[in-house]
Amino acid sequence: MSTFFFIFFVFIAFLVIYSLYFGDNKPKKVIKKESIDYKKEDHIEEGMLYDPETGCLITLDQAQSGVWDIGSCKKIDFPNQDKVQLKQVIEYFTKLKFKQIKQNYAEDSENEYDKISVLFQDCQILQKYEDWFCTEVFEINNYCWLIILNVYYKNINEEQILLFINNTKSTGHYQFLENDLENRLLKLLHPEKDLILDNYITNTIEKSRFTIENKAILSQIKGYKNLDVELYKGKILIKSKRPVCLEDANILVEINEKLNISRSD
Break the chain into its structural domains and give their ranges: 16-69, 81-259
Band of pLDDT at residue 255, cut at 50, 70 and 90: very high
Between 221 and 12, the more confident residue is 221
Binning pLDDT at 50, 70 and 90, where does residue 88 land? very high
Report the pLDDT value the prediction gives residue 188, as an integer from 0 to 100: 59
Higher pLDDT among residues 56 and 125, named by residue:
125
Q: Flag whether pLDDT at 133 surpasses 50.
A: yes
Does 143 have pLDDT greater than 60? yes
Q: Per-residue pLDDT for 79 more than 80?
A: no
Average pLDDT, the chain: 77
Average pLDDT rounded to a whole number, residues 96-114: 75
Which parts of the chain fold into alpha helices (H)?
Answer: 2-22, 60-65, 81-95, 112-117, 181-189, 212-221, 246-259
User: What is the pLDDT, as a whole number, of residue 49?
Assistant: 76
Question: Quick one: pLDDT at residue 32?
Answer: 38
Residues 11-53: pLDDT tens digits?
A: 666 665 555 444 444 434 443 334 444 444 444 566 677 666 6
> Where are the extended beta strands (E) located within 75-212?
99-101, 131-141, 144-153, 156-165, 173-178, 200-206
pTM for the full predicted model: 0.68
The residues, ordered by sequence, that sit 6+ positions from 31 with a Cβ below 8 Å of its Cβ are 51, 53, 66
* 180-195 mean pLDDT: 63
- Residue 261, pLDDT > 70, answer no
Q: What is the pLDDT of residue 67?
A: 79
Residue 248 has pLDDT above 80, yes or no: yes
Tell which wins on pLDDT, 114 or 34: 114
Q: Tell me, what's the pLDDT at 243?
A: 93
Task: Give me the phi and psi of 82, to 5 degrees please.
Answer: -65, -40
Of the candidates 140, 142, 70, 73, the one whose C-alpha atom is nearest the C-alpha of residue 100 is 140
